[in-house]
């Protein structure tokens, strides 16, 4: 008979607990297997944990790069490049693919102009990819390729906007910022047209990975402007000369074709270089003062008042009145610029002698309803709609507005108490040059989107005055240049129609003492206008526009008639006698 072994108490306890331990181990094993499966198949993992692990993985093997498709180019009306694309490069290295990290660091330092020790730290890194330059020029990129670092060097192309004409027409064109968006001018207004598609794409840090495909389908459209580069250059150089000669603090010149609204040149001082917009210390220099510079125009407004009075039938061309040197209206006394009484004056002499009392008389004869209706027809107080970013509307108050007073009808008639932009003022005078038809100003001639070409067609903003009234005022403006104070604008051989304006500068406490803004607006040839010009100069040393702005017009126009092949009156008469016309000359 076998002897039964008696277990110790500890052994008995172990045997009783062993099944529980085994069951616990089995359960724990299944839990661990379940967690492993959840990591493998991303089932049930905490989203924050998964995002962290993914980010840690991608930091080592992938990076995100913002890639812009080729932005559309901007050209002048003759195909000259104003804004184009160049390439810069983001430069990285894969240290483990470099043959000799020390030699590579030395060569990279010589090209990039960086400390060798700093680059050695990058070339000897254990990371699979290290960025060593966020942006380098195409020239530097070529020198890097010439180092023959093979697959250890990674260069990702980054499009950059370039402006080959430098500061020329900078406030018309605008610029493209670091975020790849256009700002100001054409770049801002036509951002969606020019930009194409901007994509954020993941780029592999592993050089053997296949890279993303090309972006040809994402490219932006090209734009052809109405601006003539050579006319723009002449306008800008003439403006700089005027600023220097007159001591003015800022200025604007606009050259247009009054027949179709084309802007041939739009120059401002001061200006900026769009290639280095980030160096600008005064952001106001980015504003295009031709469309955003509200100011009181002064006596150039008298031609609008005269046109309105003739169109409304308030007067006839043979109208006369007696000027005794003062006109009481609305609690103020209106006086002429020379503080003199001029006796019996006819309509033409109101403009020739630039008489404030004469303009105020015309406005009061029309009455507030007719006068302000005409200002509205000429587009004052609203934007012209030119296709440029940043246009202002100007300001004037009509009856019914709490800021309007009875005296405004007098002061507004000769350009005080009303603000305009230079483009707004020239657009309104263009209606006089164009037989009463006011054309929409435009800066873009064509949009070229691949094989599709969209050409802008001239359009009218309205007809504020009749052709008869326009012809009558045009002839009066000719007399202003022939026999008036503004004869400094005359050009031998050409009939000029024009008018100056000398405006005080308003402040919160009245008008600035001894300071003025001077304007000249005119067109030529007067009987068949090919170009119209507005010149504005702020705070010149000489106070009066006839002494400052009129000579600048003459100097500019003398260059433009040569550049644009506008024959003198005698030649045009001969061409007309032979059945020809200069209107067909391409400009």
Q: State pLDDT tens for residues 126-180.
A: 999 999 998 898 899 899 999 999 888 998 888 789 999 999 999 999 999 988 8
Judge whether residue 207 has pLDDT over 70: no
User: In whole angstroms, what is the distance from residue 74 CA to residue 208 CA?
Assistant: 38
DSSP string spanning 189-252?
HTHHHHH--EEEEEEESSTTSPPP---GGGPPPEEEES--HHHHHHHHHHHHHHHHHHT-SEEE
Q: Which residues contact 575 (CB under 8 A, 6 or more apart)?
A: 567, 581, 582
DSSP-assigned beta bridge partners for residue 444: 225
Q: Which of 413, 424, 418, 378 is nearest to 401 (CA)?
A: 418
User: In whole angstroms, what is the distance from residue 394 CA to residue 261 CA?
Assistant: 19
List phi, psi (to 5°) of 114: -110, 160
Strands 263-269 and 460-462: unpaired
Helix (DSSP H) and strand (DSSP E) numbers for the chain: 19, 22
CATH of 229-584, one of 3.40.50.300, 3.40.710.10, 3.40.50.970, 3.40.50.720: 3.40.710.10
| CATH code of the domain occupying 84-160 | 3.90.1310.10
Judge whether residue 55 has pLDDT over 80: no
**Residue 208: its pLDDT value, please?**
42
Strands 250-256 and 263-269: antiparallel
**Residue 214: its pLDDT value, please?**
47
Judge whether residue 204 has pLDDT over 90: no
Exposure of 520 by Cβ count < 10 A (0-12 exposed, 13-18 middle, 19+ buried)? buried
For 84-118, b where at least 16 C-beta lie within 10 A, e where not — what string? Answer: bbeebbbbbbbbebbeebeebbebbbebbeeeeee
| Whole-number percent of the chain with pLDDT over 70 | 85
Taking the CB of residue 466, how many other CB atoms lie within 10 A of it? 14
**Do 84-160 and 229-584 share a fold?**
no
Q: What is the pTM of this model?
A: 0.82
Q: Cα 81 to the chain's mean position, in Å?
A: 16
Q: What is the DSSP letter of 60?
A: H
Q: What is the DSSP letter of 281?
A: S
Judge whether residue 302 has pLDDT over 60: yes
User: In whole angstroms, what is the distance from residue 446 CA to residue 575 CA?
Assistant: 32
DSSP-assigned beta bridge partners for residue 565: none
Give the residue extent of every domain in the chain: 84-160, 229-584
Q: State pLDDT tens for residues 443-500.
A: 999 999 999 999 999 999 999 999 999 999 999 999 999 998 899 999 999 999 999 9
- Residues 232/448, Cβ–Cβ less than 8 Å: no
- Residues 497/433, Cβ–Cβ less than 8 Å: yes
pLDDT band with cut points at 50, 70 and 90 for residue 7? low
Judge whether residue 553 has pLDDT over 80: yes
CA distances to 531, 553, 571 from 559, rounded to whole Å, are 12, 10, 18
Judge whether residue 56 has pLDDT over 70: no
Q: What is the DSSP letter of 72?
A: P
Question: Taking every pair of C-alpha atoms in the chain, what is the biggest distance, in angstroms?
Answer: 159
Across 188-198, average pLDDT: 88
Taking the CB of residue 295, how many other CB atoms lie within 10 A of it? 23
Least confident of 29-38, 105-114, 341-350: 29-38
Q: Which residues contact 275 (CB under 8 A, 6 or more apart)?
A: 162, 163, 166
- Residues 569/495, Cβ–Cβ less than 8 Å: yes
- Residues 229/78, Cβ–Cβ less than 8 Å: yes
**Residue 215: its pLDDT value, please?**
45
User: In whole angstroms, what is the distance from residue 470 CA to residue 179 CA?
Assistant: 49
DSSP-assigned beta bridge partners for residue 254: 266, 534
Top-confidence residue, 212 or 73: 73
pLDDT band with cut points at 50, 70 and 90 for residue 210? very low
| Whole-number percent of the chain with pLDDT over 90 | 74
**Residue 138: its pLDDT value, please?**
86
Q: State pLDDT tens for residues 389-445.
A: 999 999 999 999 999 999 999 999 999 999 999 999 999 999 999 999 999 999 999
User: In whole angstroms, what is the distance from residue 6 CA to residue 457 CA?
Assistant: 114
**Average pLDDT score over the chain:** 89
**Residue 58: its pLDDT value, please?**
56
Q: State pLDDT tens for residues 251-267.
A: 999 999 999 999 999 99
CA distances to 154, 381, 394, 396, 546 from 400, rounded to whole Å, are 69, 15, 18, 12, 36
Count the alpha carbons within 13 Å of 539 in the hemisphere toward its beta carbon: 7
pLDDT band with cut points at 50, 70 and 90 for residue 213? very low
């Amino acid at each position: 008979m076998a002897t039964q072994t008696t277990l110790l108490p500890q052994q008995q306890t172990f045997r009783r607990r062993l099944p529980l331990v085994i069951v616990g181990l089995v359960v724990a094993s299944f839990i661990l297997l379940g967690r492993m499966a959840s990591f493998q198949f991303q089932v049930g993992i905490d989203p924050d944990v998964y995002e962290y692990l993914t980010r840690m993985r991608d930091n080592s093997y992938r990076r995100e790069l913002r890639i812009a498709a080729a932005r559309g180019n901007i050209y002048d009306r003759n195909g000259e490049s104003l804004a184009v694309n160049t390439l810069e490069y983001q430069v990285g290295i894969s240290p483990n693919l470099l043959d000799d990290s020390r030699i590579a660091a030395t060569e990279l330092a010589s090209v990039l102009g960086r400390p060798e020790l700093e680059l050695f730290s990058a070339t000897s890194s254990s990371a699979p990819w290290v960025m060593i330059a966020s942006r380098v020029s195409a020239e530097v990129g070529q020198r890097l390729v010439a180092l023959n670092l093979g697959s250890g060097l990674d260069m990702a192309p980054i499009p950059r906007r370039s402006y080959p004409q430098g500061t020329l027409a900078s406030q018309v064109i605008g610029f493209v910022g670091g975020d790849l968006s256009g700002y100001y001018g054409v770049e801002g207004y036509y951002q969606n047209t020019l930009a194409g598609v901007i994509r954020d794409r993941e780029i592999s840090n592993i050089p053997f990975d296949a890279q993303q495909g090309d972006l040809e389908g994402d490219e932006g459209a090209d734009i052809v402007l109405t601006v003539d580069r050579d006319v723009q250059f002449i306008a800008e150089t003439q403006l700089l000369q005027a600023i220097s000669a007159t001591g003015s603090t800022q200025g604007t010149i606009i050259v247009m074709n009054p027949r179709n609204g084309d802007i041939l040149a739009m120059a401002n001082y001061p200006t900026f270089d769009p290639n280095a917009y980030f160096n600008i210390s005064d952001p106001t220099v980015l504003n295009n003062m031709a469309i955003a510079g509200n100011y009181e125009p002064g006596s150039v407004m008298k031609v609008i008042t005269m046109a309105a009075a003739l169109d409304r039938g308030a007067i006839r061309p043979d109208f006369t009145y007696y000027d005794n040197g003062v006109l009481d209206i609305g609690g103020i006394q209106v006086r002429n610029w020379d503080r003199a009484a001029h006796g019996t004056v006819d309509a033409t002499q109101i403009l020739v002698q630039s008489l404030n009392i004469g303009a105020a008389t015309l406005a009061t004869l029309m009455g507030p309803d007719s006068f302000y209706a005409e200002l509205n027809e000429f587009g004052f107080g609203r934007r012209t709609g030119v296709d440029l970013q940043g246009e202002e509307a100007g300001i004037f108050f009509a009856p019914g507005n709490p800021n309007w007073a009875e005296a405004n009808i007098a002061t507004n008639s000769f350009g005080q108490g009303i603000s305009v932009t230079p483009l707004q003022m020239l657009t309104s005078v263009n209606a006089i040059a164009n037989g009463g038809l006011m054309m929409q100003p435009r800066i873009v001639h064509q949009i070229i989107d691949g094989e599709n070409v969209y050409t802008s067609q001239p359009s009218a903003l309205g007809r504020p005055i009749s052709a008869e009234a326009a012809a009558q005022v045009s002839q009066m403006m000719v007399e202003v240049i022939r026999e008036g104070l503004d004869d400094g604008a005359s050009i031998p051989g050409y009939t000029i129609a024009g008018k100056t304006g000398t405006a005080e500068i308003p402040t919160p406490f009245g008008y600035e003492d001894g300071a003025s803004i001077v304007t000249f607006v005119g067109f030529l040839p007067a009987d068949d206008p090919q170009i119209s010009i507005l010149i504005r100069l702020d705070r010149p040393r000489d106070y009066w526009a006839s002494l400052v702005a009129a000579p600048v017009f003459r100097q500019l126009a003398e260059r433009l008639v040569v550049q644009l092949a506008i024959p003198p009156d005698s030649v045009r008469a001969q061409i007309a006698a032979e059945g020809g016309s200069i209107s067909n000359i391409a400009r």
